[in-house]
Amino acid sequence: MPKQIHTISILGAGKLGITIAQLALKAGYRVYIAGSGSEDKIRLSVSILAPGAVPTTTEHAAQMGDIVILALPLGKYRTIPSRKLKEKLVIDAMNYWWEVDGNADALKNPQTSTSEIVQQYLPDARVVKAISHMGYHHLRDEAQAAGAQNRKALAIAGNHRSDVEQVSEFIDRLGFDPLPIGELHNGRQLEPGHAAFGANLSKDSLASLLL
C-alpha cells in the first residue's frame, strides 16, 4: 500500500514555491516550506502570502513531507539534502533557465532530461517531474475543482506507476487534470524549448502536444 499523502514540503520559497504552497493549503494539505537560508528569513512572507504553511529549514522540510517538491532554481540542485530524501516521493518542478542558472553545460545536455540529472543526484529518492511546464501565475489563476469546464492539465513524468498515481491524485486535488506522459526521461518534452513548455491547456490539448 502506498503511503497516504497528508504533508507536502516545498523546497524554495520564491514565486513558484509560494504559489504551490497556496494551492496545497487550499487543497487541505499540511505544508512545510523552506527557503535557501534560515526559516526566519521567510517567516513574514510565508505568513502573509501562504498563511498556514510552516516555514522551516530545508533539512527539516525534506524530512517531514510525504511528498517533497523541488521549487528552487535548478542551478542550485546540489544544495538539496540528498540523504534526507531516501525513499521519498519527490516532485521536480524545476527548469533550466540560463538567465538565472547561468550557462551550465551539463544542464543543457540534449540527451538527458534535467529531472534525470536530479534523480542521479538523489539516487534513493523517487523523482517525478511535474508542475514544471505552466507559469506560476497561470498555476495560481487557473486552479479549478475537478470537472470544471476549461480545467487545465499538468503533465507528469515518472518511472514508477504507483508514484505517478500518487502525484496524479495530488495534482487533481491542487486543481488540475493530471496527464501522465510516461517515464522520467519523457520530462524532456516539458522543458524550455520543447512543445509543452509554458503550456496552459486542457488535458486533450496538452495530450495532443505530448502523446
> Under the rule (CB under 8 A), what is the footprint of another protein?
13-15, 18, 35, 41-42, 44-45, 48-49, 75, 95, 97, 99-102, 135-138, 140-141, 191-200
Q: Is the dihedral of CA 139, 35, 8, 26 positive or negative?
A: negative
Nearer to another protein, 166 or 189 (CB): 189
Nearer to another protein, 58 or 166 (CB): 58
Q: Is the dihedral of CA 9, 173, 46, 132 positive or negative?
A: positive
Nearer to another protein, 44 or 148 (CB): 44
Shortest distance, CB of residue 189 to another protein, whole angstroms?
A: 12
Shortest distance, CB of residue 198 to another protein, whole angstroms?
A: 5
Shortest distance, CB of residue 142 to another protein, whole angstroms?
A: 9
- Written as one string, the DSSP assignment of 39-54 is HHHHHHHHHHHSBTBE
Nearer to another protein, 10 or 125 (CB): 10
**DSSP reduced 3-state for 68:** strand
Whose cell is 517531474? That residue is 129
Nearer to another protein, 14 or 182 (CB): 14
Q: Is residue 107 within 8 Å of residue 114, measured between CB atoms?
A: yes
Shortest distance, CB of residue 191 to another protein, whole angstroms?
A: 7
Edge-to-edge strand list for the sheet holding 153-158: 54-55, 30-34, 7-11, 67-70, 89-92, 126-130, 153-158, 177-180
For residues 194 and 119, give the distance between their C-alpha atoms in angstroms, rounded to a whole number. Answer: 21
Within 10 A of 115 (CB to CB), how many other CB atoms are there? Answer: 31
Shortest distance, CB of residue 84 to another protein, whole angstroms?
A: 24
Shortest distance, CB of residue 23 to another protein, whole angstroms?
A: 12
